Structure 1
Amino acid sequence: MPEQLRYFFELGVPHTPLWPFALDSPYGYPTDLHRLPLGPATRAELVRLCERYQTSVDWSDPAGLSPWTEEEHEAFREEARAAFEALRGELGGDFTVVDESLL
């Protein structure tokens, strides 16, 4: 049975968008990207997107409006979708990755 992972970005988590369904996953909770069979470019892109996502909130007023423009939101959504497809391609049939990003 393939390992199941969830894909979404979380505020305060700047290093991975992957979360296992099982808390006792051998890949960590949240998932440690270095434990997965990913190439360095994919791993770096996922980290970059997580770090970028952290800037979508005005940390001096977290409940307020996002400092991102609609164009920035759309660009992030496109980049996150592309990274998701690359991730699924690299992990292959040994993993099931569910997109829960609701971007």
Structure 2
Amino acid sequence: MERLRYFFEAGVVGTALWPDDVDSPYGYPAELDRLPIGAALAAELDGLSEWFQSSVDWDYPPGPSPWGRDEKERFNVRARAALEALRAELGPGWTVVDRFRPLD
């Protein structure tokens, strides 16, 4: 069974998927074009990881997010939907561990 962890990382654009093994055939972090998922879902995950980067105040990263409550909620909803779509597309041979921490 294949296993990935799902979370967004500041400074990492293009994926929210992390194999347990750094020597994974899917890359580390996972490269979306190496996974058996459709182009639409790959584009959504890529877009979410890029969008997430703007949630960080790059002048002072440990400080509060520049996003307001509405943008955080929109991101959280889309991130959860993408996780569910990912699990459905990958199917039963895969485990995707939810490590996503909703923005609040």
Query: TM-score range with shorter-chain normalisation?
Result: over 0.9
Cα deviation 1:18-49 (Å, max 9, x = unaligned): 00011111111100111111100000000000
**Which residue is 1:52 aligned to?**
51
Q: Is there any run of 5+ residues in structure 1 with no aligned partner, and where? A: none
Shift of 1:63: 2.1
**How many angstroms apart in 2 are the aligned matches of 1:10 and 1:93?**
26
**How many angstroms apart in 2 are the aligned matches of 1:96 and 1:61?**
35
Superposition pairs of residues 19-30 of structure 1, within 5 angstroms:
19-30=18-29
**How many angstroms apart in 2 are the aligned matches of 1:98 and 1:62?**
26
1:89 aligns with 2:94: no
Kindly provide the amino acid, as one letter, of the partner of residue 93 in structure 1: P
**How many angstroms apart in 2 are the aligned matches of 1:21 and 1:38?**
19
Q: Which structure has more helix as a fraction of its residues?
A: 1
4+ aligned runs moved over 4 Å, structure 1: none
Q: Is there any run of 5+ residues in structure 2 with no aligned partner, and where? A: none
1:66 aligns with 2:74: no
Q: Secondary structure at the match of 2:9?
A: coil
**How many angstroms apart in 1 are the aligned matches of 2:15 and 2:35?**
12
Using the size of structure 2 for normalisation, the TM-score is: 0.94
Q: How many residues align?
A: 102
